[in-house]
């Protein structure tokens, strides 16, 4: 379960959104729509706990390290750590199994296990971030523009990740891609 | 079986080691700045006896320079490359602090050890009380590591971080340097030993205070959004 109550975010005098109440349960997929700058990514960052809200509160579960997965297009990775080292580090810090081979096979990145973050293409970085987001099999996963910058195969992987987990996981997707609306059980539009 | 704390802190230290081994930027900067301080003073006093006050002050100046690399690396580097959010999502703030501070301590102790050796080779200064000097430098390295890690976190989300780091760190480090220089002077000359030991104790009290408080301050300013 992931959600928020009375959530609001203001930059300067401009409110991106206000009085937002959400509750997404396992089996549901909330798609957040909106034009560029409407606050879709900011909303997901607030839900993920990496950006502070101006008002309101979020429910991220008892231990967000294990109860929440997050992958965003603009999230950098460590330039000198390899793909496998990212998964090992995240697992040790979260206290879950690294599942390096299994996860890299799932996102079709096994061939790049020893490649450093700075040498990854946009699509490879996106796949690594998907693997990191699902590593602990959290009950809630936040995906910001999951298919942006991905080729056909990458888009297929995104679809597979969502479809294979949707019965037991709450998904929140921020997107401008009409194709990704097919995952939605609910939609909201910001802006 | 490792406790969750040991596992998380160990993971952070390994990550810092890997990053440093592959980039080497902070170690080189810290060692070069410290070594230049030693060389400059050794040349300035070439053929003359270095006053004990200057010798002790110079050792601490070298130690402070060793801290500069950590100051710019620890949390500032995470924010600059945008990876701070990964740590916020994956790790407990206390584990992040202890991992980074422990790595900074190891790095600074190694630099301080090398620079101290270099200093005594070049300056030809004798030491009357090795135990006092060693304890003061060890405590000083731990306190500096703890403090610069905290300051790095405090300024990491601000603009103009370099200037801000200096402004925040200076008043916090003045008491430590004053105590350390006094202990160092006493250790080198062998004079005023009670005052030297009192200063050495002061260095360790400062260290314990920093290490006890800093993780909580870090959690308040860096970890939670």
ipTM score assigned to the predicted complex: 0.91
CA distances from B76 to B124, B134, B149, B173, B216 (A): 38, 30, 10, 19, 18
Q: What percent of chain A has pLDDT over 70?
A: 100
d(C-alpha B18, C-alpha B196), whole Å: 39
In the DSSP assignment, the letter for residue A116 is B
Alpha-helical regions (H) of chain B = 4-23, 25-44, 52-80, 84-90, 93-123, 130-155, 161-189, 193-218
Judged by average pLDDT, the poorest of A44-58, A167-181, B211-225 is: B211-225
B69 — pLDDT class (breaks 50, 70, 90): low
User: Does the pTM exceed 0.95?
Assistant: no
- Residue A116 sits at φ, ψ, to 5 deg, of -75, 150
Q: What is the pLDDT of residues B104-136, one digit of tens each?
A: 999 888 888 888 888 888 777 788 899 999 999
Contacts of A48 in chain B (CB under 8 A): 85, 89
* Residues in A 108-137 with any Cβ partner in B closer than 8 A: 116
CA distance B13 to chain A (A): 11
Chain B residues interacting with chain A (CB cutoff of 8 angstroms): 4, 7-8, 10-12, 14-15, 18-19, 22-23, 81-83, 85-92, 95, 224-225
A109 — pLDDT class (breaks 50, 70, 90): very high
In the DSSP assignment, the letter for residue A167 is T
Average pLDDT, chain B: 85
Task: Give the chain A residue whose CA is nearest to the CA of B13.
Answer: A89
B44 — pLDDT class (breaks 50, 70, 90): confident
Tokens of B215: 């993780």
Q: What is the pLDDT of residues A31-82, one digit of tens each?
A: 999 988 889 999 999 999 999 999 999 998 888 999 999 999 889 999 999 9
Residue A98 CA, chain-centre distance (Å), reads: 18
d(C-alpha B65, C-alpha B107), whole Å: 12
Res. B88: pLDDT tops 70: yes
Contacts of A94 in chain B (CB under 8 A): 90-91
Task: Give the chain A residue whose CA is nearest to the CA of B223.
Answer: A50
What is the CB neighbour count within 10 angstroms for residue B169?
22
Judged by average pLDDT, the poorest of A28-32, A60-64, B79-83, B160-164 is: B160-164
| A63 touching chain B per CB within 8 A | no
A48 contacts B81? CB cut-off 8 A? no
Task: Give the chain B residue whose CA is nearest to the CA of A89.
Answer: B11
Stated as kind and residue range, the H or E segment containing A159 is helix A152-165
Mean pLDDT of B49-67: 81
CA distance B212 to chain A (A): 22
B202 — pLDDT class (breaks 50, 70, 90): very high
Mean pLDDT of A135-146: 95
Closest by CA position to A79, among listed B19, B69, B136: B19
d(C-alpha A147, C-alpha A161), whole Å: 12
Q: How far apart are the first and last CA of chain B?
A: 32
Tokens of B38: 């030693």
What pLDDT is recorded for position B2? 65
What pLDDT is recorded for position B77? 83
- Residue A16 sits at φ, ψ, to 5 deg, of -70, -45
Judged by average pLDDT, the poorest of A2-6, B154-158, B181-185 is: B154-158
Res. A3: pLDDT tops 70: yes
Q: What percent of chain A has pLDDT over 90?
A: 79
């Amino acid at each position: 379960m992931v959600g928020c109550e009375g959530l609001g975010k203001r930059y300067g005098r401009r409110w991106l959104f206000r009085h937002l109440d959400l509750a997404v349960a396992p089996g549901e997929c909330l798609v957040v729509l909106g034009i560029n700058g409407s606050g879709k990514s900011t909303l997901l960052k607030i839900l993920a706990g990496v950006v502070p809200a101006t008002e309101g509160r979020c429910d991220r579960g008892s231990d967000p390290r294990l109860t929440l997965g997050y992958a965003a297009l603009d999230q950098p990775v460590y330039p000198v750590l390899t793909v496998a080292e990212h998964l090992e580090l995240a697992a040790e810090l979260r206290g879950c199994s690294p599942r390096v081979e299994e996860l890299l096979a799932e996102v079709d990145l096994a061939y790049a296990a020893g490649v450093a973050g700075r040498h990854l293409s946009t699509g490879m970085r996106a796949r690594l971030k998907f693997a990191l987001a699902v590593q602990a099999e959290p009950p809630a996963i936040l995906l910001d523009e999951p298919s942006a910058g991905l080729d056909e195969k990458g888009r297929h992987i995104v679809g597979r990740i969502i479809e294979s987990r949707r019965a037991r996981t709450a998904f929140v997707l921020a997107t401008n891609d009409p194709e990704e609306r097919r995952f939605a059980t609910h939609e909201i539009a910001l802006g | 079986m490792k406790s969750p704390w040991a596992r998380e802190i160990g993971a952070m230290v390994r990550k810092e080691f890997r990053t440093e081994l592959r980039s080497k930027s902070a170690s080189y900067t810290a060692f070069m700045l410290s070594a230049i301080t030693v060389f400059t003073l050794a040349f300035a006093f070439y053929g003359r006896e270095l006053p004990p006050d200057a010798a002790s002050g110079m050792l601490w100046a070298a130690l402070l320079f060793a801290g500069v690399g950590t100051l710019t690396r620890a949390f500032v580097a995470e924010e600059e490359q945008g990876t701070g959010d990964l740590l916020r999502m994956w790790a407990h703030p206390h584990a992040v602090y202890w991992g980074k501070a422990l790595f900074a301590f190891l790095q600074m102790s190694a630099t301080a050890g090398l620079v101290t050796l270099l200093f005594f080779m070049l300056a030809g200064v004798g030491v009357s009380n090795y135990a006092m000097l060693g304890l003061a430098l060890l405590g000083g390295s731990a306190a500096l590591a703890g403090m610069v890690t905290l300051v790095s976190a405090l300024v990491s989300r601000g603009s103009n971080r370099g200037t801000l780091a200096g402004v925040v760190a200076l008043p916090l480090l003045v008491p430590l340097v004053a105590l350390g220089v006094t202990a160092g002077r006493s250790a080198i000359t062998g004079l005023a030993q009670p005052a030297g030991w009192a200063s050495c104790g002061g260095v360790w009290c400062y260290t314990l205070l920093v290490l006890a408080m800093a993780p909580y301050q870090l959690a308040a300013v860096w970890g939670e959004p």
